[in-house]
Structure 1
Amino acid sequence: MSFCSEDRMNRLGCSGKKMEITIDTMGHPHTSIVQAVNGLQVYDLELKNVISLPTVYSREQIPVSNKHIPTSFDASHWPHLADIRVPEIDAKVALLIGSNVPDGYYPLEIRTGPQGSPHASRTQLGWILWNVMRAQKLEEGNHFPSMKTEIAFKNAEEISRLDKMVKESMNFDFPERNIDDKNEMSQEDKEFIIAVSKSINKQEGHYEIKLPFRREKVVMPDNSAQALHRLNGLKKKLSKHKKFQEDYKVFMKDILDKGYAEKVPVSEIHGTPGKVWYFPHHGVYHPRKPETIRVVFDCTAGYQGVCLNSMLLQGPNLTNNLLRMLLRFPQENIAVMGDIQAMYYQVRVPREDCDFLRFYRWPDADYTQEPQVYRMLVHLLGAVSPSRCATFALQQAAKDNKDEYDPDITNMIKENFYVDDYLATVQDETQAVRVVKDVTDLCHKCGFRLTKWISNSHDVMKSIPSEERAKDVKQLNLDC
């Protein structure tokens, strides 16, 4: 089909018969009321060639602008296209010629290059550049180049429809993983929300949430012997690998220094029978960061038929829809991204639940000493519920501070986080500087440190303290 904007039709004095048409898009019919116009012709710029168009249908607006059309400058980067001249016309795009006009696309000449490079075809109407990316010229000022996609939507219904179509297309292409979000909550999910909503409270600048047990009266077997046995397995690795021993010592000291864990006082060693559980643990290196060790607590380790994960409610997926976030992301000019440091460890566990999070360790990784008893004071990475608890706490932060911040800031807390990653786009640098400051401040009030900031704006980056910028941009000279 071919379409012409209603504005251009009015300028041409065209009027056509109003009718209903149904367009099938990715298997989904969409019906619109349009004008059907016959008798239109298009010429090349030299008025030498004319092509008669079949029936053309009106459209309120054409979702394409001149910024999407590649130019001679863009083509000049490719030797086989360097001599092609594409006129730049100062006018809106008001006509889309569809594949039902073969004469408009019939190639009189074709330019090809190396495999993987763009090509061009000369038609009766002029040159068409295929797969040539529109270059973003770096203007003078305080901007870094960035990629931007513009999509014209009339209303939220169109956004929702596009979101649904993209999902269904991905589900068809990749049936092994259905990306659809299931809004309906199971009975267990509802129980999780009720339990967490009742227990969440703010203590010393951090949210505190009880472990979401499946039942109130939890009784756990004494698995301390199993945990000690697994600790002896770790002893062999510490004795053979000195670097591993040193990295392990630093990591464990760090979680103690930051208050994520504590040594259990001698008076509380025995604890309440049935209310104590020990985690085996081991150290692993990140495959992409071979210098970074992470100590993993094994929440799936079973003893006498139970493990902690089997006793906890996992809860519903509270993470924002990534596809919807990515569709929103390119809509404005200035982008900002940040990251919550150790997000899961910022949500604390009440004292009465901490003994379910015990572990053995050797002080200073000195395996010649007797192992000591420690316990985590925060929700434990490796259990089934911490990600849900942390996201719930972040959403709670937006609710609790709605009267202190503008609605756009609290909405960004709700809608612009994907787990611990914050990403948003705004209209200009002034707004971006305010957003970074206010979102960071709101998170800080609730125990979340938002850091590792990056932006495509020079001015925005200069407004952020160097220690809060992403690692790769900390050393940039932003005074140039």
Structure 2
Amino acid sequence: MIVPVYVSHRDKPDQEKLVYALLDTQSDTTFILEDTYRELGLSGTTVKLLLSTMYAENQVVESHKVRDLVVRGFTIELKIPLPDTFTGNIMPADRSHIHTPEVANAWPYLKPIASEIMPMQNCEIGLLIGYNCARALIPRDVIAPQDEGPYGQRTDLGWSIVGITDQSFEDENDCIRTSHRIIACEVPPSILNSDGHGPKHVMFSLQTKIKELIKPETLSQMFELDFIEHSVGMKSISNDDRKFLAILKNVIHFLDGHYEMPLPFREDLSYLPNNISMAEQRLKHLKGKLDKDETYRSQYVNFMTDMIQKGFAEKVPEDEQTCFDDHSWYIPHHGVFNPQKPNKLRVVFDCSAKYEGQSLNDYLLQGPDLTNTLVGVLC
């Protein structure tokens, strides 16, 4: 069961975030996505978890333990307190398994609940609620399946559909069950051209049937290679990194006392969807929070006014405000309070917000990692 919910902290009930929640009756623990944890401005205790799955037992993972989270359904005011919740980097769920009103309408006996199921929302799967929060998993109402079809189930977080809904479903085509092995080899700098590009095809061989016996003295020499001084600061640069550096070199310029550079797009913008519907939805939610909290609104206005006065942001010219073509992308924003500075609002511009499975960050080059290695710092 995957349902849209609002999650917040008990001490900050107005700072809600819309996410999808995976209701997992086989997990004894409740988890929150690391990104959701950060966007809510939460603070927790650093812990180490012993996590057991089908393929690993008692695997040690770093996490944060968060207390006093609450959750409510998309259109439901009833709030359910969550038990101690732990952060995780991923959620074991596939967005293609989120059911919509169209899915309910495809099954005659599920049509009565089609209006109770929310359309697909532009938010991440940010929660996994285990059976240590039984109140969120209790079946309040059930529509039994017919033949081999799915069934409907209502909890205090809303209606959901359980089961295979694609009648042409084949196990081998389910992407969540597919596993791939990826092997990457660095292209030697000697064969690259001056522009950072190399030949179209590079051949390399894989020796998969040969086991190499390593002598103890050879193994010791291999370990010592990690601490040879001449390797300090030498990092491989990917082709994307070279492209990023080329953009900076050719386009960056000095203007009004500041360096100005364009957004380092991976490619042209012809594939960027117009996300105005998502941005408007986020704006309505933000307006509701501004109307409810005078302090929140005042600090938000001050922050945005300061951004405009310093020239960090400017108003879109009127002749461009109606230019809603395929090259328009709207960046939603929201405010968060840092627990260490509870009286100072920080506005977050959410470039990771997804629309039709894509975000602005997906189209941008990250650039090379310029952080010194630990060996480099020590030297």
Greater RCO structure (CA 8 Å; 6+ sep): 2
TM-score by structure 2 length?
0.37
Q: Radius of gyration: which is bigger?
A: 1
TM-score by structure 1 length?
0.30
